[in-house]
Amino acid sequence: MSELISVVVATYNRKDALDAVLRGLSWQSDRNFEVIVADDGSASDTCELVEQWQTRSVVPIHHVWHDDRGFRLAEIRNRAIAKSSGRLCIFIDGDCIPRHGFVAAHRRLAEAGWFTAGNRVLLSQDLTGRVLRNGLQPERWGISQWVEARLRGEVNRISPLLYLPLGPLRKLQGQNWRAARGGNLAIAREDLDRINGFDAEFTGWGREDSDIVIRLMRAGVRRKDGRFATAVLHLWHPETARSSLPQNDERLMALQKSARVQAVRGLAQLNAQAVVARPRQTAR
C-alpha cells in the first residue's frame, strides 16, 4: 500500500500535548501521509500552534474545528474524515505520541477487509509533566531508557514497545469488538464511508469507539491486532467527566440489539457549513 494515509489527531484545549504529538508525527519514517487536527472546540492558541507547525512540517497539516458545545468527539472526527484525502485513516488522540515507525507499521498492517486496533503505554503524571515542561522526547527513547522508566514506576508497561511480527496471530481476534480504542485505530476510508463514519449521537465521554467497531464487523470488516507494532505513548491527564456514560451505554446496548450498520448521525448528515479558521476563545 503506497497511497496517501490520513492521520486524524483529536484534540481539545491541550496545546502542550498536541505539540508533542505533532513533533512525533514530524519525524516518521514513512512520510506519505497528511495530518488532520480534529479540534473539538479549543481556544485560539491551539489554532496558532497548528499554524506554526504548518509552516515547518514536511507533511501537510490541516485544522478542522467546530465550536465548543460539549464533548463531540465523534462529530469532529467525522469532520476530519470529510476533510481527509487518504485511502486509510489512522485515528489517534492529541495526547498520544507516536514513535518513529508508527505510520509505517499501520501501512504494513493495512489490508482490505480489516481494520487495525493498536495499543498504548501509559505515562505517569510525573513523567508526563517532565515531558511537557522540559521538552523531553520519549518517542526517541531506546529500550534501556524505557526499562529505567518502568523500574521507576513512570510507565505502566513496556512490552507494547517491542516489535514482534506475529503474522497470522494478528487475526485471532477478528470478531472481538471489546477494548478497541479510538486513540489508536486505523480504518480504510471506503469502510468508513460504508458504515457512515462515527455516530455523532454519542456525545460526552465513552463508547463511540465500541459503536464504530461493532458496525464495522457487521459490515464484514474484521479486526487485526496492532500490538507489538503500533503502540503510542499516552500522556497522563485527569479522568474525563463521565456523566454521559450511562446514556452512551444505553445507545451501545440498543445497537447490539439491532442489526444496524450505518451511523444514525454520521458522515452523510454532516452540516455543510464551512469550518472557521480562527476559533474564538472558549472554555468547557
Instruction: Give the pLDDT confidence of 50-85 residue by residue, as tens digits.
Output: 999 999 999 999 999 999 999 999 999 999 999 999
Output the pLDDT for position 228. Answer: 95
When comparing pLDDT for 15 and 182, which is higher?
Answer: 15
Confidence of residue 276 (pLDDT cuts 50, 70, 90): very low
pLDDT tens for 191-239 read 999 999 999 999 999 899 999 999 999 999 999 999 999 999 999 999 8
Is the pLDDT confidence value at 281 over 70? no
* Mean pLDDT of the 10-22 span: 98
* Mean pLDDT of the 145-164 span: 96
The residue ranges of every structural domain in the chain are 5-269
Is the pLDDT confidence value at 92 over 50? yes
Point out which residues pair with 222 in neighbouring strands: 114
Q: How far apart are the first and last CA of the chain?
A: 40
The structure's pTM equals 0.93
Give CATH for domain 5-269: 3.90.550.10
Output the pLDDT for position 271. Answer: 64
Block residue for cell numbers 501509559:
122
Is the pLDDT confidence value at 275 over 90? no
Output the pLDDT for position 282. Answer: 45
